[in-house]
Amino acid sequence: MTTVHKTSDRSAPKLTDPLRFPSGASAPVRTKRAFVLVLLTLFIPGSAQIVAGNRQLGRLALRVTLAVWAVAVLTIFLALVDRSTVLSIVTHPLASLVVIVVLVALAVGWGVLFLNTLRIIRPTLLAPGMRPIVAVVVVCATVLASGSLGYMAYVLNVSRNAIGSIFDAGPAMAPVNGRYNFLMMGGDAGSDRTGRRPDSLSVISVDAKTGASAIISVPRNLQNAQFSEQSPMRKIYPDGYNCGDECLINAVNTEVTNKYQDLYPGVADPGAQATLEAVSGTLDISVQAYVLVDMDGFAKLIDAMGGIRIKAGGWVPISGPTIDEANGIHGMPDGWIAAGDQHLNGFQALWYGRSREFVDDYARISRQQCVQQAMLKQLDPATLLTKFEDIANAGTKVVESNISSGQLGSFVDLALKSKNQAVKRMTIGPPDFDAAFSTTPDFDVIHSKVHDLLGSAGAAPQAAANPQTGDAVTASVASPVSVASPQTLRVALSNAPANTPANAHKQAAPKQVASDFTPVTTTPDGTPITVELLNGLKAQGDEQGIRNLVATNGQCAPL
């Protein structure tokens, strides 16, 4: 008797399954199958291979997909509970390199899966009209998936290169008295110069926990600057930098670069380090790191950001060539930045922070503080994503720093915390000190005020002040009167009421918040201030008339 063995239906391949065997399916089903496989590869990489192709490849890809999802969820969780750790990984040179390699590998692997999916689809079985459509869909999905990962790797690599170019590879620093203090220096880093004379010196002090911040500006003409106790320069100038009228604090950089580099073995920029020590001793705080900005390249960074938005209290000249060096008199201005709400490009922002024609250094310092705040406030994630490469490339040409690259993540986190908090501001000069204070400074008074400021950092900003005198003022305008010429205007200015900008130093008005001021856009008689009016006064040699009209240009607030 012969025994017949029947093959089980369960072990036989289901030749009618359209996913694995599309040959017997109808044209609409084949088309639907193609789109389903593309979507599976896009949203669950590896699943298309499991249901319709090489299951071994599919299982491997699916394991990778699940691992990536797990890492993504963990990253999001860490970003919510410990953002600085995530930022530290992204900004750390070695860790970021590992992330870049992984992103590139994932991008290539995803691209291979899409090619395999196209083979599984078998375009020759599709209707002729659907073949190019499916091909385009596969290409678009590949670009969306692999391209996104590739772009992320590219952006991270640009960031990594920029961080390596700008920041130091040294050890991390600890906060002192609960704060990080950074010296911001702005100066000309031209190749024809040995050492810089910074035109701008500001300390940004940030609370290590809350991010509450304060900006302390030191005038470039401060005399008798005190070096910190640990500074090698203290042995040369034990009683302060008191070698005469030329020994201003902004000359420390050049002197150390030219004469005393041997006192700083192994230091990349002895002049910048010595300036940091002079500011530390002068303010009686520990300034741990510096950021040096090349002011000539500064415009590139502003342009890369798409400009900055500010509220300007008065007109600011874009100065023409100097015609009287001794008295600081320039020729006809090359242009003007008007009072009121302004969107400044790089060139305008540079001049807005640099110009001191018709006013003093303290008006300029106030504007520089405002520009710094505007940059911090307006450098949002959207700007970074859309302009990241331009910003990074500009930064490598503009900025140098001794901040440790390994600590950059925690500082970025602090910057994000401080972004929407009020910033306290103080200047070692008007409005916080007398205009002559920088020539004969009382360091005990400076130390006391600095300690008081940092103890209250994060409270409401100080009152706005007249940049010439330090008195808090409210700009007011007389009722409109027609003024036909600059000559008539001079008469009006000479008879201006005591509460007008022209004579604001004679009578202080009620104090106000730094951003709560009225831009001066008209003369005391109500005539609109225009380029023609200002240039007309300049052509007639009426420098004082212009000073009266632009006296409030130190008032500024970021928008």
pLDDT band at 224 (very low <50, low <70, confident <90, very high): very high
Mean predicted confidence (pLDDT) in 254-268: 91
Most confident option among 167-171, 206-210, 315-319, 505-509: 315-319
Average pLDDT, the chain: 80
The answer to the question of residue 343 being in a domain is yes
- Of 541, 546, 548, 547, which is closest to residue 324 (Cα–Cα)? 541
**Is-contact 362 550, C-beta < 8 A?**
no
Left, alpha or beta for 309 (phi > 0: left; psi -120 to 50: alpha)?
beta
Higher pLDDT among residues 504 and 312, named by residue: 312
Q: Are residues 161 and 209 in the same domain?
A: no
Mean predicted confidence (pLDDT) in 58-68: 96
The answer to the question of residue 542 being in a domain is no
The answer to the question of residue 520 being in a domain is no
Of 406, 428, 455, the one marking the end of a domain is 455
Give CA torsion, residues 537, 540, 545, 546, to 10 deg.
Answer: 50
- E strand residue ranges, 286-396: 289-294, 308-312, 316-318, 322-324, 329-330, 335-337, 340-344
> What pLDDT is attached to residue 40?
95
Higher pLDDT among residues 50 and 369, named by residue: 50
> What pLDDT is attached to residue 334?
93
Of 166, 188, 221, the one marking the end of a domain is 166
Of 166, 200, 222, the one marking the end of a domain is 166
Mean predicted confidence (pLDDT) in 439-445: 92
Whether residue 291 has pLDDT greater than 90: no
The answer to the question of residue 192 being in a domain is yes
Handedness of CA 507, 509, 511, 517 (dihedral sign): negative
pLDDT band at 498 (very low <50, low <70, confident <90, very high): very low
**Is-contact 93 160, C-beta < 8 A?**
yes
The answer to the question of residue 283 being in a domain is yes
> What pLDDT is attached to residue 504?
32
Whether residue 509 has pLDDT greater than 60: no
Integer angstrom CA distances of residue 7 from 3, 4, 13, 360: 13, 10, 11, 99
Q: Are residues 66 and 193 in the same domain?
A: no
Q: Are residues 435 and 365 in the same domain?
A: yes
- The CA distance from 513 to 460, in Å, is 8
> What pLDDT is attached to residue 502?
34
Higher pLDDT among residues 514 and 157, named by residue: 157
> What pLDDT is attached to residue 38?
95
The answer to the question of residue 474 being in a domain is no
> What pLDDT is attached to residue 471?
36
Helices 131-166/381-398 angle, 10° precision: 50
Q: Are residues 267 and 228 in the same domain?
A: yes
pLDDT band at 384 (very low <50, low <70, confident <90, very high): low
* Count of the separate structural domains present in the chain: 2
Mean predicted confidence (pLDDT) in 225-244: 92
CA 6 to chain CA centroid, Å, is 76
Residue 371's Cβ-count burial label (10 Å; 0-12, 13-18, 19+) is buried
Higher pLDDT among residues 328 and 287, named by residue: 287
Residue type, 297: G
pLDDT band at 395 (very low <50, low <70, confident <90, very high): low
Whether residue 408 has pLDDT greater than 80: no
Q: Are residues 278 and 328 in the same domain?
A: yes
Q: Are residues 225 and 248 in the same domain?
A: yes
**Is-contact 407 173, C-beta < 8 A?**
yes
> What pLDDT is attached to residue 188?
58
pTM comes to 0.63
**Is-contact 472 512, C-beta < 8 A?**
yes
User: In which residue are the tokens 């106790």 written?
Assistant: 229
Q: Are residues 59 and 124 in the same domain?
A: yes
Q: Are residues 48 and 115 in the same domain?
A: yes
Provide CB contacts within 8 A for 362, sequence distance 6+.
219, 427, 429, 430, 431, 435, 467, 468, 554
> What pLDDT is attached to residue 467?
34
Model pLDDT for residues 11-59, shown as the tens digit of each residue? 444 556 777 888 888 889 999 999 999 999 999 999 999 999 999 999 9
Domain carrying residue 99: 22-166
Model pLDDT for residues 189-203, shown as the tens digit of each residue? 444 444 456 777 889
Most confident option among 253-257, 455-459, 490-494: 253-257
The answer to the question of residue 7 being in a domain is no
Helices 83-91/131-166 angle, 10° precision: 90
Q: Are residues 123 and 208 in the same domain?
A: no
Integer angstrom CA distances of residue 397 from 21, 35, 170, 171, 300: 60, 48, 21, 24, 9
Provide CB contacts within 8 A for 530, sequence distance 6+.
none
pLDDT band at 490 (very low <50, low <70, confident <90, very high): very low
Q: Are residues 73 and 195 in the same domain?
A: no
> What pLDDT is attached to residue 429?
84
The answer to the question of residue 558 being in a domain is no
Residue 366's Cβ-count burial label (10 Å; 0-12, 13-18, 19+) is buried
Higher pLDDT among residues 556 and 18, named by residue: 556
Q: Are residues 221 and 361 in the same domain?
A: yes
Model pLDDT for residues 270-284, shown as the tens digit of each residue? 999 999 999 999 999
> What pLDDT is attached to residue 382?
63
> What pLDDT is attached to residue 453?
92
Q: Are residues 282 and 141 in the same domain?
A: no
Integer angstrom CA distances of residue 351 from 184, 216, 358, 360: 18, 21, 14, 15
> What pLDDT is attached to residue 8?
46
Mean predicted confidence (pLDDT) in 117-145: 94
* β-strand partners of 179: 176, 207
Indicate which CATH number applies to the domain containing 387: 3.40.630.190
